[in-house]
Amino acid sequence: MTKPGKPSSKSSSKSPGKASRKTGVKTVDVADSYAVRLMQHLVVPTFVIDPKRRVVIWNRACERLTGLAASEVIGTSKHWQAFYETKRPCLADLVALDRPEQLPEFYSEYAARGHNGLGFSAENWCTMPKLGSQLYLAIDAGPIHDEAGHLIAVVETLRDLTDQKRAEMALKELAAKDGLTGLSNRRSFDQMLMSEWARAHRTQKPLALLFVDVDHFKLFNDHHGHQTGDECLRAVASVVSRHAVRPLDLASRYGGEEFALILPDMDCDSACVIAEEIRGAVMALAIAHGATGAGDHVTLSVGVASHIPGGADGGPDRLLGAADEALYVAKRLGRNRVICAERVLAEFAALGRQAAGVPAPFQRKSARAR
């Protein structure tokens, strides 16, 4: 029997401190369980990886977005398969590895918003193999640390911005296109010419430019009407566009009935071959003209120039002027022909037109015979 006032060893084992610790552990377990259930039911697609980059949570919204069931990825590091055809890190992986320097490598097309100590944000086109279609996703990934500052998990959330991105791309394309012909517009031409001029200056390779003009187009419009004139321009534009076959070639509507074709890494002889193909292809269309003072069918005059930029050139004005002058000479010599800027004098001599005089360097804003 135990003496009064002296606690038994049995009762002393149930100390208030131990009971408190058990209560604390139970509270944490309940909180963890609640957090997991809450994350599972979030409407935002979310997944969580542990420090070893294994998936521990893949919520239902993430299943719906990716088409990949949680059972296929939980406990694995195969979460990349939901987004890409070939293995590569997801944003959460870069957070877990603390590799902000690799962001440009994997998200170079769309700039990441950077490392702010709380994780990374980026936007990217994802191939979504299970869905069979691409999605443009806004991605946020942030670390979770314990009280000691050790990483215990990384949470990645996803937002589908595909519709917004496609609308944005469509607007940009619309702003860069000519409404009538669908070719690049003058603004796009100017930007591309400056870009390719700078590249040609670095590489010291030639940059060729074609100016293509529909002969007697004002007479055509007056004779056939503006609707038929628009159809004529669309037909010519289609021919010019078909000859912009390489990735950096650019066909554009320069203005009115005049088109331009930028041909990087091409000398004048090769550019003239393409110009002749364009001229011949339009003649083969046999678009009836028939206006007084013009021929039976629509024809083209083409001015061609090619130049390797030098230190004294400054900008592409010399190339523009040379192609423009060549086009002017083509008009002076009777239209329906290709003239290369490098052979302007020879063309005059061959046709016995010395008396006509070779025009001085031509200014774009001046009037020109059509």
Long-range CB contact pairs, 158-163, < 8 A, 24+: 158/44, 158/45, 158/46, 158/62, 158/65, 159/44, 159/45, 160/45, 160/65, 160/135, 160/136, 161/123, 161/136, 161/137, 162/134, 162/135, 162/136, 162/137
Tokens of 53: 């980059």
Catalytic residue list contains 325: no
Please identify which residue in the block is written with the tokens 């007479």.
219
For residues 214 and 257, what is the distance between their CA atoms, to the nearest angstrom?
A: 6
- CA Rg value for the chain: 35
Length of the chain in residues, anyone? 370
Question: What residues have CB less than 8 Å from 190, skipping those under 6 apart?
Answer: none
Task: Choose, from 63, 257, 258, 325, the residue flagged as catalytic.
Answer: 257
Name the amino acid, one letter, at 32: D
For residues 315 and 325, what is the distance between their CA atoms, to the nearest angstrom?
A: 17
Please identify which residue in the block is written with the tokens 């609707």.
227
For residues 240 and 234, what is the distance between their CA atoms, to the nearest angstrom?
A: 10
- Name the residues annotated as catalytic: 257
